[in-house]
Structure 1
Amino acid sequence: MIPEPPPADRRAALRQRHRRAIVDAAAALLDERNGAPFTVDELAARADVARRTVFNHFSSVDDVVAEVGARVLGEVAADFGASAAAPRDDERDGSLFDELAELLRATDLVAPMAYLTRVLGSEGCAEPSPRVTAMVARTFTDLSERLVVGLSRRHPEADLLDVQLLVASFMSGIMVVHRHWWEATGAADDAASREVWSGLLDHLVERARHGHAAPSDRTS
């Protein structure tokens, strides 16, 4: 006879199940309502949990929505980190800078960012709302942490501070690029939008590689 798990394990499993149900319910409500707000009571009813259970896991509905966004982009972050930590190919051994630039170019950020725009109710807005900006910042922070860990494992000889500074400079630039992309495309997910994103990303890489000349020098 298989022994029953201890009570602590059962409680942990129940908490995990409740949290997943709440986040799943929030994602479904966001999809159905195109980002329109919903109440804690509506969320609890959809998740089939008590209102108190929602607050046992999250302090507000916005925190639940943030968790949805983190989950949507979490897969991207996980892929990003895994790529950064993949074994090095000696035949294509380049600098940390080149590897990071290649990773950014190869990662599809347009699709998840466009999804967040829709479910957070910002579709058609001229610029990102504070809610979207906070969500993107949270996601890029997660990406940064995973990149630092992955690249440090792949390049144990590299100074950790140098890796952190390199990643931080790129991800700060990505935040700026995200805003310009939004203003140019409305955060759409189509061929034109992806072309704009690619061009802005190339611009970021070149500026990071060669430095930032004074405005008068750019036309000379």
Structure 2
Amino acid sequence: MPPSERPSDRRARIREGHHRAIIDAAASLLGAKGADGFTVEELARRAEVSRRTVFNHFGSVDDIVITVCTEVLGDLVETFESRPSAPAGTSDAGVFDELAEALRSTDLVAPIAYLTRVLGTSDNDSSQRRAVVLLRAFTEVSERIAAEMLRRHPEADELTTRLLVSSLIGGLVVLHTHWLAATGGSADTASRAVWDELLDQLIRQTRDGYASTASLGAHTS
């Protein structure tokens, strides 16, 4: 232990290392065997930790899988975070457009196709589990984007911002179902065209609904 490192810092560093090792091992096993293809014991061996350590960090295997899925979808958050902030005082509609453009400019087909494959498509149980895992993963992504949006626009109403973000990000889970039925989960040019069309429909319908609400508020204020 370095002379300047306190015992509490060392424990935190070890815990962080274990956490990262478990996630990395889970990602490797997911890619090789799918979500139902490995046990906690196998995960612990791959991560070089004990079974107890795995459950000290995560409540269940699904929690680990969701964390991996959230990281796979992290490009969406990074795309949004890397975009220039809209000017202070931007209207709600302008903030909506900021997020919509980030969705359009992020390649979501590749990570969603990967997640579809590793989460399974063979039976009803796999489909139900996939839907739950994707919903929870997208919910975490939504919360991160909402937090970033509020950081960029501290003057924005928190409830309105969170509703706006969740409407779009939550809609991606619905899009996935229609995209999978139309493409079989492939990640090629044709499936990207299907995704882009579905995404445009989501953005258009969400914007129209929001614009109607904003118009009603303007008339009643």
TM-score > 0.5 by shorter chain: yes
Tell me the alpha carbon deviations over residues 68-98 of structure 1, each in whole angstroms, 9 at most, x when there is no partner.
2122223432332443xx23379xx972232
Q: 1:151 to 1:40 in 2, by over 3 A?
A: closer
Summarize the alignment of residues 20-35 of structure 1 with structure 2, pairs less than 5 Å apart.
20-35=20-35
How far apart are the structure 2 equivalents of 1:30 and 1:150? 29
SS in 1 for 2:73: helix
**Counterpart position of 2:107:** 108
Distance change (3 Å), C-alpha of 1:23 and 1:112: same
Where in structure 2 are the equivalents of 1:96-175 lying within 5 Å?
96-122=95-121, 129-175=127-173
1:45-76 Cα offsets, whole Å, 9 max, x none, are: 11122222222222332222222212222343
CA distance in 1, matches of 2:206, 2:150: 20
Letter in 1 for 2:178: H
Shift of 1:205: 1.8
41 and 184 in structure 1: CA distance in 2 versus 1, 3 angstrom threshold: same
1:34–1:149 distance in 2 versus 1, CA, 3 Å: closer
CA–CA distance in structure 2, aligned partners of residues 51 and 151 of structure 1: 38
Overall identity of the aligned pairs, in %: 51
Q: How many Å separate the matches in 2 of 1:49 and 1:119?
A: 23
- Return 134-143 or 39-48, whichever deviates more: 134-143
Give the Cα separation in 1 of the matches to 2:172 and 2:31. 26
Distance in 2 of aligned mates of 1:152 and 1:162: 10
User: Take 1:89 and 1:21, find their aligned partners in 2: how far apart are those partners?
Assistant: 40
| Partner Cα distance (2:185, 2:74) in 1 | 19
1:74 aligned residue: 74
Q: Distance in 2 between matches of 1:182 and 1:140?
A: 17
Once residues 86 and 209 of structure 2 are traced to their aligned partners in structure 1, the CA distance between those partners, rounded to angstroms, is: 27
Return closer, same or farther for 1:12/1:154 CA change in 2, 3 Å cut-off.
Answer: closer
The alpha-carbon distance between structure 1 residues 150 and 98, as it changes in their structure 2 partners (threshold 3 A), is same
CA-CA distance at 1:125 after TM superposition: 6.2
RMSD of the alignment, in Å? 2.8
Task: Give the Å deviation of 1:154.
Answer: 3.4
Distance in structure 2 (CA, Å) of the matches to 1:209 and 1:41: 47
Equivalent position amino acid for 2:3 in 1: P
Matched, 1:44 2:13: no
CA contact (8 A) 1:81 1:149 kept: no
Deviation at 1:170, TM superposition (A): 1.9
CA spacing shift, 1:82–1:141, aligned 2, 3 Å? farther
Residue 215 of structure 1 is matched in structure 2 by none
Q: CA deviation at 1:112?
A: 1.0
Kindly indicate whether the alpha-carbon contact (under 8 Å) linking 1:137 and 1:175 is maintained by their aligned counterparts in 2. Answer: yes
Q: What SS class does the counterpart of residue 5 from structure 1 fall into?
A: coil
Aligned-pair CA distance for 1:192: 0.9
Q: Which residue of 2 aligns with 1:179?
A: 177
- 1:13 alignment partner in structure 2: 13
**Cα drift, residue 193 of structure 1:** 0.8
Provide the rounded CA distance (Å) in 1 between the counterparts of 2:22 and 2:81. Answer: 27
Aligned residues: 207
From the superposition, tell whether residues 150 and 159 of structure 1 become closer, same or farther in structure 2 (CA, over 3 Å): same
- Paired AA for residue 56 in structure 2: N
